[in-house]
Amino acid sequence: MVKHHKILIFASGSGTNAEQIVRHFSPNSSVEVLGVYSNNPSAFVLERAKQLGVSTHVFNREEFNNPEGLLKNVQAQSPDLIVLAGFLWKIPTHIIDAFPNKIINIHPALLPKFSGKGMYGHHVHQAVIDAKETESGISIHYVNSQYDDGAIIFQAKTPIDSDDTPESLAQKIHKLEHRHFSEEIEKLLLPRGKQVNLYTDGAASGNPGPGGYGLILEWEGTPHKKTHSQGFIHTTNNRMELRAVIKGLQLLKKSPLDVVVYTDSKYVSEAVDKKWVLGWEKKGFKNKKNADLWIEFLEVFRKHNVRMEWIKGHNQHPQNEYCDKMAVKASKQAESHIEDTGYQNKE
């Protein structure tokens, strides 16, 4: 028997995202939108829900903050997922505790940038334009006790043109929301095999010199995360970048998995994307640097479905920045350094 998945939507405004979600799941017999809840009795989302045949519930601040109030109503519905679709109030702790990892939100910017109290709608887009950002986007994330601070589930980007205004940027963001929000909700409710995101970075002081790497493994659609770092006595930056990817893939206990590797190393990403490494392999890695690591890489690479994504380093990418900090810290902790076996000291 197919499990019946139930969604509750919380919204405060017009409700275009809420309508998209309802329409997306209406033909799906295994997913039901139980209702639309709002703190705003004049919100147009309530009219949209009525037109779509979805029940509604309006609540005030007192009911919202009372553990014996709205929470009891929501618990009686037994939702598998609570979706915040333009909901402006901070969720109280007693509701978060009652539904751990079952409340998600969509934020109209690339977290962790432009987050926090007051960062919603026009205010976000104005702040992005004022900061002269070259791109913006959406972030779908789990909800915790802090504004916009929960684990990120999914992000999508859009470029910002020189003549963009907060209004034109809002239109671009709405398109991303409507394109991705329902699909990501469906992935959470009806997983088709979870994607693993591997973020890596490496560093070597002096290059060559003392080095280290850091990595983060995140299982998409879950809050599960693993970090790892290691320092080495004498190595190079390229070897640390490559070792980080190898170690991350080695830490995956099951195979094959769908893995996206995020690296700021073009040395690593281009060798894989352009299939140079396969050509090197055919020639026995003759005269190629780091042949020992590329051989090790191919062995674990072939156990999974791996896609490389190059990202610009030192560009406020949260996971990349954290990996960089781990790598630099590991490179400086001499007491825990190990030998970079295979390094021939001639790169």
User: What one-character-per-residue DSSP string does 185-206 give?
Assistant: HHHHHS-SS--EEEEEEEEESS
Q: Is 180 a catalytic residue?
A: no
**Longest CA–CA separation in the chain, Å:** 72
Q: Is 324 a catalytic residue?
A: yes
As a whole number of angstroms, the distance between CA 209 and CA 262 comes to 24
Across the chain, the runs of DSSP E, i.e. the strands, are 5-10, 31-38, 56-58, 81-84, 103-107, 135-142, 152-159, 196-204, 209-219, 225-235, 258-263, 305-310
Q: Two tokens at 345? A: 């000291």
Q: Is 241 a catalytic residue?
A: yes
Which member of 201, 218, 220, 296 is catalytic? 201
DSSP letter, residue 45: H
Which member of 86, 150, 202, 212 is catalytic? 202
Q: Is 149 a catalytic residue?
A: no
CB-based contacts of 37, cutoff 8 Å, min separation 6 = 8, 9, 10, 11, 56, 57, 58, 59, 70, 74
Which member of 19, 218, 220, 264 is catalytic? 264
Which member of 241, 296, 337, 340 is catalytic? 241
As a whole number of angstroms, the distance between CA 73 and CA 89 comes to 18
As a whole number of angstroms, the distance between CA 201 and CA 192 comes to 29
Q: Two tokens at 56? A: 């509604």
Alpha carbon separation from 3 to 32, 33, 101, 160 (Å, rounded)? 11, 14, 19, 42
Which member of 19, 296, 324, 340 is catalytic? 324
As a whole number of angstroms, the distance between CA 196 and CA 194 comes to 6
Cα-Cα-Cα-Cα torsion 89, 94, 98, 103, nearest 10 degrees, comes to 20
CB-based contacts of 35, cutoff 8 Å, min separation 6 = 8, 9, 49, 54, 55, 56, 57, 77
Neighbours of 252 (CB within 10 A): 18
Q: Would you name the residues annotated as active-site residues? A: 201-202, 241, 264, 314, 324
